[in-house]
Structure 1
Amino acid sequence: MRDFGREGLWFDYTADPALVTPEWVAEFDAVLLDAPSAGFPALTGVAASKIVTVDFAAAGGNPAPEAFLKPLKEKLLTAAGAQRRAEWEQFLKSLEPEARSVNGNVANYERRPQALTFQQPMSVKASMARTQAAPDLRLELFAAEPDISKPIAMAWDARGRCWVAETSDYPHGVVPGGEGNDRIKICEDTDGDGRADKFTIFADHLNIPTSLTFANGGIIVSQPPRLLFLKDNDGDDKADVRKDVMTGWGIGDTHAQANNLHYGIDNWFYGCVGYSGFEGRVGGEPKKFAQGTYRFKADGSALEFLHQFTNNSWGQSANAAGDQFGGTANGAPLFYGGIPATHVPAGLRVMTAKKINTEEKVHTITPNFRQVDVLGGYTAAAGSNFIESAKLPPRLQGKVMVCEPTMKVITLMDVKPDGAGAVAGDAFNLVASTDEWMSPVFADVGPDGAVWFADWQNFIIQHNPTPSEQSGGYNAKTGPGGAHENELRDHSRGRIYRVVWSQAKEPAALQKLDPADPEQLTAALNSDIQERRLSAQRLLIEGKQTAAIAGLKKRVQANDGSVGALHALWTLQGLNALDETVFNAALFARDARLRRNAVRALPVDAAGQKLYFGSGIVSDPDPVTRLAALLKLSEFPTTPEIQTLVKKLAVDDANRKDEWLHEAARILMRRHKAEAYKEGPNLLPADGFEVTGADGLPEGWKPRGGFGRAGFGPPGAEAPPAKWTVTEAAGSVHGGTRALSCKAEGMGGSILNAEVDLKPQTEYRLSGWVKVSNFGNAGFPGRGITLSIGAAGPARGNPGSRVETERFLRNVDWTYVETTYSTGSNPKAAILISHRGQGESFFDDVKLCELVPETETESVTAGVVQRGEDIFWKHPVAACVNCHALAGKGSTVGPALDGIANRKDAPYLLESLTDPNARLADGYTATPISPMPPMRLILKPQEFEDVIAFLQSLK
């Protein structure tokens, strides 16, 4: 691919035999099979002459040697046939010539024998000819320079018009006051030919706008340090209103600013931010975070940080069910956000997001790429939007698009459920190019069902680090905004393309919305395009379309599995029209997505709790829905009954074995003060750091590396290395007589390491007390004070093998921290105490203990009917009357229980309460699963026996 792409030999790739149908193969000129892939089935209906089989392992290098490539190329052309070969040769002759020149500003980060030459920019025609899409897809130009320039983000209004954020100021032109040279432009196709022909500047004098989304008759624009609200009041498509929504977004580095604004299914607005972060006050509360996703209210009254990523971040999205995703620029392009940080109690370190992509490499079709840190992988990844459209092939549905402008591709990722989480397999490319200026930075499905993407059109993408003689081959200068200055960086070009399916039953056409037509908007909630569904939902709520309420309720109650029911539910929530009937219909729906959103939408008042515990959703068979249920449980006020439930949920096998459900259980135990485990003895050496060795350090602990540096840049201005000591000074000890201290005069870092042997497949808690003073050098990569544990030995460094406690980037007095660690098949563990940054840190009472489930100590006697009857009617969590009727009183969710003891024997009753899904109740067809949770999860042992006794008395 990489080596043949510049010659017009393009590939599509799959490792999934199910996708290799005769119809799909017929779209291609040849089929290339990897010889060692013995598990790949024989291709039926494909001519043998069309198949080329090779052993890619024999390529023996990266790039592959000429001795391998030349014969392979000849085999491929032979397999394609004489006519296609002739057409290919003619295609190469028809290409506009490529102009190149030597230029000293082209960095050689990859340490090639010769630096790449500079490719002159190409015309639209020449660039499109060098840009690949699948055989059944075609590229269509929507807009290009000079009509538009530097498009960084797009959004569509109700009429389907494309609004573009243009930023020629990026990356250096940071203006503190926000009055720059950038614009929001409306691009409109007035004659329906698929090409924009009318361009209107909606707002100008902006400064590096990175994203936009529609709200309240206008748009919200992310323009750090502020979010702006812009609105046209007189209908001339010019902004008359310009006001701040909130301020506090960092501007220290322009490629790490707030980005990717979206309207969410839950009626909040969502976005992403890199390491420039946010620090300010919102709703009267101080907020500070970086590198992850957040949500906010359109009026600026609320802001919540949600999912913590690992490095600079430029992606936020949600699937049809509202499950959260996002991505980082470097090496981790796709994350799943399973647990919002708002649910995590202070001091508890919990996984809120996890990298889920399984493929690290990018499938470029050119060897001429420039990258500095993740060579061949993701280093400028942007976006994570899902494809949903009946106007695109079935194989693309549900795929995630990630733009990688340094490699000139839009990558596809195949997201699948993985327990309560997700995993993303490699689904190859949507678009790839050999034009070294073609730089996709934004991709989404537009209101016509096609994929629209913004081509940044720049030869220079790399932001930092700044080239030096040692890295890049020449010394450059870091400019404002954190990017290296380079005269080759373009500030005027830009294009927008549409990717269209040639086999669509109907041509792509705009789905327009009328804000004044509630019937049309309600129908649009079931659109095949997510953007249209969300726009219709928002317009119904903003327009206070109460006339739609009856139809919305019918949509939810239809129980037909349609995606429109999810949007109807949240539209009702936005119109303050959700009621018990609608909630019950959603909580008991066949569609797990609807059940999941119903529990997310539940209020936390008494009525919400009654609906929650009456639904059995806490043990929902769908793991992602169960995760939502556990998180909702963490929002309820603590009661003894909830504490009992939490303890049992925490030790339940299904929850313990799923990493996300396990994390949710940890939150529940802390929130409701319901510890389900007891700690074994401390397994760490030098318990409490009271015992020191000959080196003066705690016995059994050894330094692992260390450095000291006075500032950024190459080594030279060194400071003394960070130093570990055992201290007895007043105020420096938390427990006992001694504590551990690390001090760094400059930008220092060091790690203290201890290794211990543990049990396989066992869970442990690492905890301790930490104090930090005089912390500095806040911009140092990987900075912070923390404890961590991970696999030692051969498994050291495996992805996901290390977890850490809260990481401190500020001064704190003695603070308790903890995390849990499961050994899996790696019983040897390394515990690290890390100090990275200027200042002094103190650690004390550090423990690593096995977590042993608490055993039931309650003695159980024969059940008492009267106590069981009280539970049936009055139990605050497990009252049977929430789902069953007796003597004409109660709920009709489940069957009436009058005379149940005459109809069913004792073993049946026991099974029904212990495992409700083993056999559904006679005549129950509302949902494919029982809404009743396993009652042993909720009731204490004696309460369970009392309920059994009462049921057996109902004759």
Structure 2
Amino acid sequence: MPSRKSLLFLCLLLPVALSAQKLDLIPDARQPTPVVAPASTEAELALKIIQVPKDLKVNLWAAEPMLANPVAIDVDERGRVFVSETYRYRTSTLDIRHYMDMLELDLSSRNIEDRAALIKSVFEEEADQFKIESEVIRILEDTDGDGKADYSGIFADGFNDPLSGIASGVLAKNGKVWFTTIPSLWLLEEGDTPRTASKQTEIARGFGVHFGYTGHDLHGLIFGPDGKLYFSIGDRGTHIRTKEGNLIDLPDEGAVFRCDPDGSNLEVFAKGLRNPQELAFDEYGNLFTFDNDCDNGDSERLVYIAEGSDTGWRNGYQYSLLGGAGPWMLESMWTPRHEGQPEYIIPPIANIEDGPSGVAYYPGTGLHPRYQGHFFVCQFRGSIASSGIYTYTLKPKGASFELDDKQLFLKGVLPTDVTFAPDGKLYLSDWTPGWPKSTKGRIYTVEHAETEAGDLVKQTEALISQRMKSRSTSELLNLLAYPDWRVRLEAQFELVRQETDPALLYDQAKGGIFGFNQMHATWALGQLVPGNKKAAGYILKLAKEGTPEVKAQALKLVGDHGLAQGYQTLIAALDDDSDRIKYHAALSLGKLGNPEAAEALLGLLLLNNDRDVYLRHAAVKGLVGCVNKSMLDKASTSPFRALRIGALLTYRWLKDPAVARFLQDSDVTL
């Protein structure tokens, strides 16, 4: 056995073993000003090879020199297109695969300060070159209404921190633009000077612990029906102290976060992801992502992002000494649920096509009605021959979903992002062929000519462009049932801003026949709950008497807002026939933190008997919040495996040493 002195000596040697070796940056003409190719006929020629269903039409909306290297796009209520453009990709934002001599040092970084120090120690005098290139937010506009952009300008730049990643996420709304580029989440505000960000505020910082793979950046910006801002990061990792003083320490995995629009109340929503490039909500408030594979024989994954879940990926698997991504491949953690898979993970719904990047959910108007309920997913594979856009539909399965159908929607481009504009058209950004950045970029639109000319599309565009502030409460309440999700959501947010009488919202939410007005009225009540006892009371009523979907959302809100008066309602909901209702009730019991709920949650585990992994997850997270050690100890020795595995998973989340007792369990899988 080594002596204490020898162990101390080895510890002193460790920093030497990981000391920085001087590396040279790969030579490149790094420019402080973006270089964009001149106009040509290439984009028009490329248009001819794009294929879509016969009743749809593709048009070129913008091309170089109006933009280059588009990573993400968004269209605001005025029809202006905001583009996040990268000029640092693989020249100032490095890919570890090109600098493998510093892999161990990179993996050892625990926060962005470590990575900043690594840049200085490894690249020495060349470290200043990391400050030359800047990412750009560009604004494009069709000012004359001819269907093509005629204005291009830089909305914001100066994103040239040595730690800066690629410009990856952009979300534009009412003169404000949220922008993600490692290491920060930014809020950019348009002031008196049109088309320019007069104010740039860093509202969160601490993302991008590792160099890792480029593209595994900070992205996925989207507003949820709760009014929160959601976004994602790849496995470059996070170490951040929030405005409230809470530490988020996830240095070796991707995650989904949510916060208030000003960056406050930042929290982890889910973790264990590899590179969830974008996020999408469906009209029922369910959150999904399409995660990328690790290039070791696995496949991409369609993931239902269960709150508080861990999907299992860790950055170190990519470089496993075992080879082949270690346990990720050995235990098939990337496949839908199967026997022998690690029990702590939430597996994907389905495996899908390679290279998912941009994602959009059909809002309800614009294209043909056959696209209701469809996710549009860009498949970016470096070649136009193998890239395109697929559509996916899902159907309920227990507390979660399963894949219903998938179809190739478009091919012939290298799409990075996709979104739906107020004019009803689908907009997509084209990287142009190849993996490296270039000096080119395009935006195309897809339209359904017959639908495009219809009154509903024109009405939708008018409602979105005119915004909601001037509308009466009665008008806004009626718009909660509008066919387009975007209109419904903006009407909901305006009702909240106006502090509408909760009784009026409750009248919309209740009722025996389901309609989307019920969902949005319920979400609006949830947004009003802080400081509004009347709204809280109506949420408690809906948790008992609402239609199934409304009841599920109300049960969720009971937990989100810590409404302890709803405890018995949550307990009763664990016996509901609907797995979805039981799922939300169990999660909310964990948020209330009443230890007495443990018995009912263990009963749910027993009844579920490991049938539904999402329902088990909800029960376990409920137990984690309740922290009833005596009940867990009893469950850990139960003759029923469903209770023992539930106890084990709960101990795991709590980081309780009691997990060790399962080394003696008669079931070797535990």
When the two structures are superposed, what TM-score results if normalisation uses the length of structure 1?
Answer: 0.51
Shift of 1:570: 2.4
For residues 594 and 383 of structure 1, do their structure 2 counterparts lie closer, same or farther at Cα, with a shift above 3 Å needed? farther
Query: Structure 1 residues 443 and 521, CA, compared in 2 at 3 Å: closer, same or farther?
Result: farther
Amino-acid identity (%): 22
Equivalent positions of 1:401-412 (< 5 A) are 401-406=376-381, 407-412=386-391
Match of 1:799 in 2: none
User: Could you tell me which residue of structure 1 aligns to residue 289 of structure 2?
Assistant: 326
Give the aligned partner of residue 665 of structure 2.
Answer: 848
Aligned with 1:285 (options 236, 246, 252) = 246
Distance 1:298 1:227 in 2: 11
Following superposition, the deviation at residue 299 of structure 1 comes to: 2.5
* CA distance in 2: counterparts of 1:456 and 1:668, whole angstroms: 44
The one of 351, 355, 362 aligned to 2:348: 355
Partner of 2:72: 153
Distance 2:666 2:576 in 1: 32
Shift of 1:322: 1.3
Q: Compare relative contact order (CA 8 Å, sep 6+) and give the higher one, 1 or 2.
A: 2
Quickly say closer, same or farther: Cα 1:505–1:220, change in 2 above 3 A.
closer
CA distance in structure 2 between the aligned counterparts of 1:605 and 1:356, rounded to whole angstroms: 29
Contact map agreement 2:63 2:442 (CA 8 A) in 1: yes
Q: 1:609 & 1:238 partners in 2: Cα distance?
A: 48
CA contact (8 A) 1:384 1:402 kept: yes
**Among residues 183, 187, 190, which one is paired with 2:140 in the alignment?**
187
Q: Distance in 2 between matches of 1:581 and 1:807?
A: 32
> For 1:322-355, what per-residue CA distance to the aligned partner results, in whole angstroms no more than 9, with x for missing partners?
112112122223111224249x9xxxx9756431
Q: CA deviation at 1:281?
A: 1.0
Whether contact under 8 Å (1:337, 1:352) holds in the other structure is no
Counterpart secondary structure, 2:78:
coil
SS at match of 2:519: helix
Larger helix proportion of the pair: 2
- How far apart, CA to CA, are the structure 1 residues paired with 2:358 and 2:424? 18
Distance 1:610 1:182, change over 3 A: closer
Q: Tell me, yes or no, if structure 1 residue 499 matches structure 2 residue 499.
A: no
Q: Distance in 2 between matches of 1:413 and 1:531?
A: 20
Q: Rate the CA distance shift 1:604–1:321 in 2: closer, same or farther, 3 A.
A: closer
Q: Deviations over 1:773-826 (max 9, x none)?
A: xxxxxxxxxxxxxxxxxxxxxxxxxxxxxx999699xxxxx96375xxxxxxxx
Aligned to 1:466: none
TM score, norm. by length of structure 2: 0.71
Mapped partners of 2:152, 2:513: distance in 1: 43
* Pair 1:273 & 2:233 matched: yes
Aligned to 2:122: none
- Measure the CA separation in 1 of the matches of 2:222 and 2:345: 20
Q: Aligned-pair distance for 1:126?
A: 2.0
Q: Residues 400 and 244 (structure 1 numbering): CA distance in 2 closer, same or farther, change over 3 Å?
A: same
Secondary structure of 1:152's partner?
strand
* Structure 1 residue 196 displacement after superposition: 2.3
Amino acid at match of 1:188: E
Q: CA deviation at 1:623?
A: 1.8
Q: Distance in 2 between matches of 1:559 and 1:766?
A: 36
Which residue of 607, 628, 650 maps to 2:605?
650
Correspondence for 1:414 among 393, 396, 407: 393
* CA deviations over 1:655-683 (Å, ceiling 9, x no partner): 642221122223334443234735379xx
| C-alpha spacing 1:276/1:567, structure 2 compared with 1 (3 Å) | same
Q: Does 1:312 align with 2:275?
A: yes
1:495 shift after superposition = 1.3
Alpha-carbon distance between aligned partners in 1 of 2:598 and 2:651, rounded to the nearest angstrom:
25
Deviation, 1:192, is 3.2
Structure 1 506/215 Cα, relative in aligned 2: closer, same or farther at 3 Å? closer
- The alpha-carbon deviation at position 456 of structure 1 amounts to 1.4
Aligned 8 A contact 2:635 2:644 in 1: no
CA contact (8 A) 1:305 1:341 kept: no
Cα pair 2:415 2:429 within 8 Å, conserved: yes
Matches within 5 A, 1:759-908: 765=645, 816=657, 818=659, 846-850=663-667
Give, in whole Å, the separation in 2 of the partners of 1:191 and 1:523: 33
1 CA distance for matches of 2:67 and 2:445?
Answer: 15
Alpha-carbon displacement from aligned partner over 1:502-527 (angstroms, at most 9, x marks no partner):
34274444232425224365554444
User: Counterpart amino acid of 1:418?
Assistant: K
Is 1:243 equivalent to 2:236 in the alignment?
Answer: no
Aligned residues of 2:346 and 2:613 also touching (Cα < 8 A): no
Q: How many equivalent pairs are there?
A: 533
Q: Give the partner amino acid of 2:657.
A: Y
SS across alignment from 1:334: strand
Shift in alpha-carbon separation, 1:320–1:418, aligned structure 2, 3 A: same
Report the 3-state secondary structure (helix = DSSP H, G, I; strand = E; otherwise coil) of the residue aligned with 1:634: helix
Within 1, Cα distance between the matches of 2:536 and 2:500? 20
**In the alignment, structure 1 residue 617 sits paired with structure 2 residue 591:** no
Q: Distance in 2 between matches of 1:606 and 1:297?
A: 18
Residue 319 of structure 1: how far off its partner (Å): 1.2
* 2:139–2:155 Cα contact (<8 Å) kept: yes
Does the alignment pair 1:131 with 2:89? no
State the one-letter code of the partner of 1:307. A
User: Are the aligned partners of 1:767 and 1:846 in contact in 2 as well (CA < 8 Å)?
Assistant: no
CA contact (8 A) 1:313 1:327 kept: yes
Matched residue type, 1:223: T
- Name 2:126's counterpart in structure 1: none
Q: Deviation at 1:425?
A: 4.0
Partner of 2:620: 666
SS in 2 for 1:679: coil
Distance 1:848 1:130 in 2: 61
Query: Would you say 1:397 and 2:352 are equivalent positions?
Result: no
> How big is the shift at 1:560?
4.5
Question: Could you tell me which residue of structure 2 aligns to residue 460 of structure 1?
Answer: 434
User: Which protein shows a greater Rg?
Assistant: 1
Deviations 1:54-109 (A, max 9, x none): xxxxxxxxxxxxxxxxxxxxxxxxxxxxxxxxxxxxxxxxxxxxxxxxxxxxxxxx
1:573 is displaced (CA, Å) by 3.0
Match of 2:484 among 502, 514, 529: 529
The 10-residue stretch of structure 1 (508-517 or 577-586) with the greater mean CA deviation from structure 2? 577-586
- Residue 278 of structure 2 aligns to a residue whose secondary structure is strand
How far apart are the structure 2 equivalents of 1:629 and 1:804? 17
Cα distance in 1 between the residues matched to 2:560 and 2:661: 39
Separation (CA, whole Å) in 2 of partners of 1:581 and 1:284: 31
What is the CA–CA distance in structure 2 between the aligned matches of 1:615 and 1:235, rounded to whole Å?
55
Cα separation, partners in 2 of 1:548 and 1:220, compared to 1, 3 Å: farther
- Give 1:660's aligned amino acid: Y
Paired amino acid for 1:599:
L
Answer whether contact 2:82 2:172 (CA < 8 A) is retained.
Answer: no
SS at 1:633 equivalent: helix
In structure 1, give the amino acid aligned to 2:238. F
d(CA) in 2 for partners of 1:353, 1:635: 20
| 1:262 Cα deviation after fit | 0.7
**Structure 2, unaligned runs of 5 or more:** 1-39, 95-115, 117-129, 161-165, 294-298, 313-341
Which of 593, 599, 605 is equivalent to 2:555? 599
**1:264 has 2:224 as partner:** yes
Amino acid at match of 1:336: Y
Task: Tell me by how many angstroms 1:172 deviates.
Answer: 2.3
Deviation digits for residues 126-148 of structure 1 (CA, Å, limit 9, x no counterpart): 21211111112221222222112
Amino acid of the residue matched to residue 55 of structure 2? D
Instruction: Work out the CA distance in 2 between the residues paired with 1:567 and 1:608.
Output: 23
Whole-angstrom CA distance in 1 between matches of 2:233 and 2:195: 29
CA RMSD, aligned part only?
Answer: 3.7
> Which of 637, 655, 677 does residue 593 from structure 2 map onto?
637
What CA deviation, in whole Å up to 9, does each residue of 1:532-557 have, x standing for no partner? 4444444554xx32357665443323
Distance (Å, rounded) in 2 between the aligned partners of 1:575 and 1:217: 24
CA distance in 2, matches of 1:593, 1:129: 45
